[in-house]
């Protein structure tokens, strides 16, 4: 079994991961050792930069009694053109599971097709499932539940937005996205999702409309990794698609502000809001560690169930 997108998980599977992550967090805070992955090795192949995903997965593996090996795409033979299908089969002979961070989602799908060990998506151009699972865990911690929550997304219709859309569709909370025209999640992606049910998702280019009465305000960078050349053009297109004090005022009293990080202060979020009392970004980053332990346990101890 793999974890490539949120949509491939059932609601009860996500709920199981979320409650297990909370239990593992509590255990960790109490200093109770837990080593179910002794003798297991996690491989990480990253073709893009990372701080949180890499360090939280490696640390999760060490805490659970296993080992982790990090390989940067450019330092491996992948960077010299060795086919994904060959790398996947070779790595399967060494490690017990693998985290991939890459560009096109089809690359990780190809990897998963040829891998005989679980493949975990550590971010592709169109999905970031582990981050959004950590985000939903953070919503539950701060708000008690995701049920009935009004979640607002401001900014790019990118990998994070897509994974939030899938989470809303599977878990059934309300999601309103404000993205500039031309930067909405793809039609094809939304059509596929609609075919699977009728999620409560609104997409607009009106930031105020999306933020009104929200319990959760969420954003991400205007230019993602791999879009560096578009950064200047995007700065113009995204002007105003920002979480700031004015937007915060439109949301519900006690709303939380989330950002997967890294943040660009003064672009998608202002310094005062990011550092202010509504921001939960550091807990959100910490929760990557706990949710990933739950994912690793599920894939490596529970035999994929
Ligand atoms: N949020 C996130 O995935 O951060 P990194 O790029 O540092 O892994
Ligand atoms: N959308 C961002 C997320 C970084 C964690 C990117 O893909 O660069």
CATH number of 196's domain: 3.40.50.1370
135 and 111 in one domain?
A: no
Measured distance CA(160)–CA(220) in Å, rounded: 7
Q: Which two tokens stand for residue 157?
A: 């219709």
189 and 156 in one domain?
A: yes
Q: Quick count: other Cβ atoms within 10 Å of Cβ 114?
A: 17
Q: How far is the CA of 276 from the centre of ligand 1 (A)?
A: 21
> Are the CB atoms for 122 and 99 separated by under 8 Å?
yes
102 and 40 in one domain?
A: yes
Measured distance CA(178)–CA(114) in Å, rounded: 38
Question: Ligand 2: which residue has its CA nearest to atom 6?
Answer: 224
Question: Ligand 2: which residue has its CA nearest to atom 7?
Answer: 224
Measured distance CA(164)–CA(202) in Å, rounded: 12
| pLDDT at residue 191, rounded to an integer | 86
Range scoring the smallest mean pLDDT among 127-141, 193-207, 233-247: 193-207
Q: Is 196 a residue whose pLDDT tops 90? A: no
Q: Which atom of ligand 2 is nearest to the CA of 125?
A: 7
pLDDT above 70 as % of the chain: 99
Q: How far is the CA of 48 from the centre of ligand 1 (A)?
A: 10
147 and 118 in one domain?
A: no
Residue with tokens 């280019």: 205
| pLDDT at residue 242, rounded to an integer | 98
Q: How far is the CA of 145 from the centre of ligand 1 (A)?
A: 25
User: 1 in a domain, yes or no?
Assistant: no
The ligand with the least distance to the CA atom of 50 is: 1
User: 57 in a domain, yes or no?
Assistant: yes
User: 59 in a domain, yes or no?
Assistant: yes
226 and 160 in one domain?
A: yes
CB hemisphere CA count around 134 (13 angstroms): 29
202 and 79 in one domain?
A: no
| pLDDT at residue 274, rounded to an integer | 98
User: 305 in a domain, yes or no?
Assistant: no
Region 260-276 average pLDDT: 98
Region 92-98 average pLDDT: 98
C-alpha pair distances (Å), 183 with each of 136, 150, 178: 24, 22, 10
Measured distance CA(137)–CA(184) in Å, rounded: 25
154 and 96 in one domain?
A: no
Q: Which atom of ligand 1 is nearest to the CA of 55?
A: 8
pLDDT band at 303 (very low <50, low <70, confident <90, very high): low
Ligand 1, residues 44, 46, 53: which to mutate, most atoms within 8 A of Cβ? 53
Overall number of domains in the chain: 2
For 277-287, how does the pLDDT look when each residue is reduced to its tens digit (9 = 90+)?
999 999 999 99
Active site residues: 101, 128, 131, 220, 260, 288
Region 117-122 average pLDDT: 98
User: 46 in a domain, yes or no?
Assistant: yes
Residue 111 lies in domain:
6-128+285-300
| pLDDT at residue 305, rounded to an integer | 43
Q: Is 253 a residue whose pLDDT tops 70? A: yes
The ligand with the least distance to the CA atom of 227 is: 2
Question: Ligand 1: which residue has its CA nearest to atom 6?
Answer: 50
Measured distance CA(43)–CA(71) in Å, rounded: 8
Q: What is the mean pLDDT of the chain?
A: 96
Q: How far is the CA of 197 from the centre of ligand 1 (A)?
A: 30
The ligand with the least distance to the CA atom of 49 is: 1
Q: Is 194 a residue whose pLDDT tops 90? A: no
- Which residue has better confidence, 305 or 259? 259
CB 161 less than 6 A from any atom of ligand 2: no
Q: Which two tokens stand for residue 100?
A: 């991939």
Q: Is 76 a residue whose pLDDT tops 80? A: yes
178 and 35 in one domain?
A: no
Q: Which two tokens stand for residue 17?
A: 């991961």
Q: Is 157 exposed, middle or buried (0-12, 13-18, 19+ CB in 10 A)?
A: buried
């Amino acid at each position: 079994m793999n974890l490539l997108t949120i949509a491939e998980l059932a609601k009860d599977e996500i709920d199981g991961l979320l409650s297990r992550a909370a239990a593992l967090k509590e255990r960790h805070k109490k200093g109770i050792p837990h080593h179910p992955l002794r003798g297991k090795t996690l491989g990480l192949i990253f073709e893009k930069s990372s701080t949180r995903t890499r360090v939280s997965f490696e640390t999760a593996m060490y805490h659970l009694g296993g080992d982790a090996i990090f390989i940067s795409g450019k330092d491996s033979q992948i960077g010299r053109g060795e086919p994904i299908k060959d790398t996947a089969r070779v790595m399967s002979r060494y490690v017990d599971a693998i985290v991939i961070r890459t560009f096109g989602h089809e690359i990780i799908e190809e990897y998963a097709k040829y891998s005989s060990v679980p493949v975990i998506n550590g971010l592709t151009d169109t999905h970031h499932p582990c981050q959004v699972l950590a985000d939903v865990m953070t919503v539950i911690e701060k708000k008690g539940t995701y049920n009935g929550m009004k979640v607002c997304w401001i900014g790019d219709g990118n990998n994070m937005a897509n994974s939030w859309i899938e989470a809303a569709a599977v878990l059934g909370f309300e999601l309103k996205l404000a993205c500039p025209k031309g930067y909405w999640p793809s039609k094809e992606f939304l059509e596929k999702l609609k075919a699977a049910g009728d999620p409560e998702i609104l997409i607009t280019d009106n930031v105020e409309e999306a933020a009104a009465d929200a319990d959760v305000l969420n954003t991400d960078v205007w230019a993602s990794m791999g879009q560096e050349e578009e950064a200047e053009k995007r700065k113009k297109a995204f002007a105003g698609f920002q979480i700031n004090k004015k937007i915060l005022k439109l949301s519900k009293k006690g709303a939380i502000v989330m950002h997967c990080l890294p943040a660009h202060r003064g672009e998608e979020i202002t310094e005062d809001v990011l550092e202010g009392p509504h921001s939960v970004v550091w807990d959100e980053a910490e929760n990557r560690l706990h949710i990933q332990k739950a994912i690793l346990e599920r894939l490596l101890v529970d035999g994929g169930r």
